[in-house]
Amino acid sequence: MFKKISLLLLPIFILILTACGSGSGNGATQGFSSAEKSFLYGLFKSEYLWYDQVPDNVDTSTFSDPQQMINTLRVNPPDRWSFMLTMDQYNQFANQQTAGFGFGYTPSFDIFLVRIDAPAYNKLLRGDRIVLLNGESVTTTLIAQASRNLGVPATFTVERNGSLVDVTVTPDVYTFHVSLDRVIDRNGTKIGYLRYDSFTESSVAELETRFTALKSAGIDELVIDLRYNGGGDLSVASALLDNISATHPGQRQFYLDWNANYQQNNTDYRFEDAALQDGNELNLPRIFFLVTANTASASEAVINALVPYLGSANVITVGENTHGKPVGMRGRTYGDHIYFLINFYVRNNAGATTGFSGISPTCNAVDDISHIMGDENETMLAAAISYIENGQCP
């Protein structure tokens, strides 16, 4: 009846997927049986990182919904993240497949993110402000309804560069990608730019392609854009580190530190052995990361993992304070539900975590949604380029 899902860090991606029109998030669930309630309570009292702070003798019959029970029992602070997904929601994320338009927007209806290869990709643009939807004043309800109306074109009237533009997008089932790369040549210095949105299982092949291109281009510097990357699979985080650096074969990247009763579950993630390296790995003395409060979990783990090897002065973050999630979870299933309760700290090779306050930026810069990601005039990327050229924050 019960089985384990691969180790994951998934704090906020469901919010981004929902904003992109992929569904209703965790949503209502059916059939929360007494046996399932007992199972969930048992996880809290055993595998949960703060198991010793969970009350004894909880009357689980008072709970009608799994997420309600999780919200009540989790130790907050610091736990803002333990949650539940249906198997379908998990598979959508892991396989980079969902349905809808594929964009995220702010409360003022400014588009801040368009999923790569989603129906809205290259149609609606980051920085567009939605004014009308099918001729009506836009609301979140109208966007949600239209996103579920698969196969039916919707007309967005957006304000773009001071003018109103009509854009037609047809919501549909789609497979998205989570990475893009480009090379910026600044006076002979080749700056590699990698946009990376999620540590999904399916993205390892994407990363291999991206790093092969960056290595072939002979880049001198690397900027990795993690501003909306809320985490994902830790084995994928390890694969990203393998591509970033080939100079520490077999050495520990980071490790999982479980609660006192489950120390046997502690796990090391290591740089791949030299014999397994395929030649597209980089060997740069420093790395730049573009970060915001949406940069979390596996993203923070990657940044933190590089500090013992490159030195803190050579792991340069540009943007805002990161989310602050130094902990992770291993999914456990019951029926159609997968429970992600916080199980462990993620520590780098020196034993350090990022802490619950996140990673402070080396250089402060705002997330400039008036430019697309990867545009060298966008404030965060421009700040990283300025540092590369001048050796200090702008």
158-167 per-position pLDDT tens digit: 999 999 999 9
Q: Could you confirm whether domain 179-326+344-390 is CATH 3.90.226.10?
A: yes
Whether pTM > 0.85 for this model: the answer is yes
Sign of CA dihedral 262, 331, 297, 178: positive
Could you tell me if 251 and 215 are in contact, meaning their C-beta atoms sit under 8 angstroms apart?
Answer: no
pLDDT of residue 225: 98
pLDDT of residue 11: 42
Domain boundaries, the chain: 4-94, 100-175, 179-326+344-390
pLDDT of residue 27: 43
pLDDT of residue 90: 83
pLDDT of residue 30: 58
- Which residue in the block uniquely carries the two structure tokens 């510097």? 221
pLDDT of residue 298: 94
Specify the CATH number of the domain 100-175: 2.30.42.60
All residue ranges of the chain with pLDDT < 50 are 1-29
pLDDT of residue 89: 82
